[in-house]
Amino acid sequence: MASSPCLFQFLLSFSVIAHAAACAAPGCQLLSPCSGAEECAPGLYCGTCPASGKTRPSCTRGQATRQTDIEKGLPFNKYTWLVTHNSFSIVNSPSFTGVQRVTFYNQEDTVTNQLLNGVRGLMLDMYDFEGDIWLCHSFQGQCYNFTAFEPAINTLKEVEAFLTNNPTEIVTIFIEDYVRTPKGLSSLFTNADLMKYLYPLAEMPTNGKDWPTITEMAEKNYRLLVFTSVASKEADEGIAYQWRYVLENEPGDPGILPGSCPNRRESQLLTSRYASLFLQNYFPTIPVQNDACKEHSSGLAEMVDACYKAAEKLMPNFLSVNFYLRSDGRGVFDILDRMNGLTLCGCPTVFACKENNGGKEGRVGHLTKPGAPFGVCKNISSSSSPTRAGDHGGGTYAGYVEFSGFLLRRKSFSFMEMNLFYCSMISILISCWVGSLLTPIFFIFHLSHVAVIIYMHYQRLFPSI
């Protein structure tokens, strides 16, 4: 017969398992407690946000919704795309100058991985340095060996590889341009084999006109938009001057001031309709890695609304942030879903857009199609946000989380740990079956197994202990 010691042993064992592995199967949903990324569904990682008081790890969004799964038939300027500010400024990236870097950082994973996770805009600061063009932070307007990151062609080759491997995707590059070498940019993009994708300057829409649809752009292979901050390079090199085609709010601290969305000095007024693309910056002047999760969780939605109103109901097409992966659960990816939902179907999120089979019975995976009623939305709960990118028929992104530290380490139960656990359960059952005489012996045997499980599991979570 089962006795109270048996019951105690069962409860102890299961409490250990519940604590060490909040979700045992790889499929835990958004906001579910977790102890490792392996436990979360595709498109999620296991993260915390101490800046918001959230110290218990939970499954957190790490990938954007695929734009082509929303609607393919609209002009490029009817979508909102995720942009990484200083995409090249990556924590723990190696020094290419042999000198310890002394500067600030803005992102946590490679440019390739950013693109794989759904980022579609890159902000790159380019300088003349060591006879080449480098990506760099400046010190008094100059690139130095302690602020330099890498030759720009390295990053551009990552973009070329991505575009080649993803023939329907479109990438936009915003260059903060300090290159003075004649024909420097055009030579750089030629050497990176990107000119074959470049959207021709002569065909770019002006005076606020719509861009072609993303389908048309893909068919023509016009899948790379490049903008420079130097106006003369339009005539000299055929690279578009950014503020002839893009409206932009003030970057840095002015861009995160609640209730305010002033235009950048170089940009036309946000209400001018001078250009049909609108870039919203949302990042502080001084990036703080650990604060980004709070910034993306509490103030971002309000600032998007402020800029939307400041531009007289023009939705930003680009949303630029630091440390794009960090949030307290949903973050920038959820905000993008909301922005695209309002623009594409008049709904609070893209996942509330009514499906339309377009005359083909049984066809799913596409949300609002041309002609579908605008503003007619599905009833969804607040908890029905996507657990993975691309749930709507187009596959998933292939990126992953590259945070430094223990988030990268495998934190699920090993084969040996599970065997120890099963042995422990068997010892309990035997002790309950044979009676109280042997119960103390099996109880000690069981506790030793539990101690080993705890030690092995936490050694892998926190190897310094």
156 — pLDDT class (breaks 50, 70, 90): very high
Pure H helices in 287-330: 292-294, 300-310
What pLDDT score was predicted for residue 399? Answer: 52
174 — pLDDT class (breaks 50, 70, 90): very high
Query: What does the buried/exposed string (b/e) look like for 193-206 if buried means 16 or more CB atoms within 10 Å of the residue's CB?
Result: ebeebbbebeebbe
- The CA distances from residue 351 to 130, 300, 339, in Å, are 49, 20, 12
211 versus 351: the higher-pLDDT residue is 211
What pLDDT score was predicted for residue 357? Answer: 29
- The CA distances from residue 95 to 1, 90, 148, 205, in Å, are 67, 11, 8, 40
Beta bridge partners of 246: 277
pLDDT at 386 over 50: no
163 — pLDDT class (breaks 50, 70, 90): very high
Looking at residues 382-392, what average pLDDT do you find? 41
pLDDT at 140 over 90: no
What pLDDT score was predicted for residue 208? Answer: 94
Weakest-pLDDT range from 87-91, 256-260, 408-412: 408-412
Looking at residues 96-121, what average pLDDT do you find? 96
256 versus 421: the higher-pLDDT residue is 256
What pLDDT score was predicted for residue 457? Answer: 44
pLDDT at 5 over 60: no
What pLDDT score was predicted for residue 352? Answer: 85
pLDDT at 132 over 60: yes
Helix H or strand E encompassing 195: none
Answer for the pair 421, 453: CB distance below 8 angstroms, yes or no: yes
Answer for the pair 84, 112: CB distance below 8 angstroms, yes or no: no
Looking at residues 342-358, what average pLDDT do you find? 77
Q: Do the strands 171-178 and 142-151 form a parallel or antiparallel pair, or are they unpaired?
A: unpaired
Location of structure tokens 């440019």: 111
pLDDT at 50 over 50: yes
Percent of the chain residues topping a pLDDT of 70: 72
Task: Please state, in angstroms and rounded to a whole number, the distance separating the CA atoms of residues 118 and 66.
Answer: 7
Looking at residues 5-19, what average pLDDT do you find? 46
Mean pLDDT score of the chain, rounded to an integer? 81
Percent of the chain residues topping a pLDDT of 90: 63
pLDDT at 368 over 70: no
SS3 content of the chain, % helix, strand, coil (to 5): 35, 20, 45
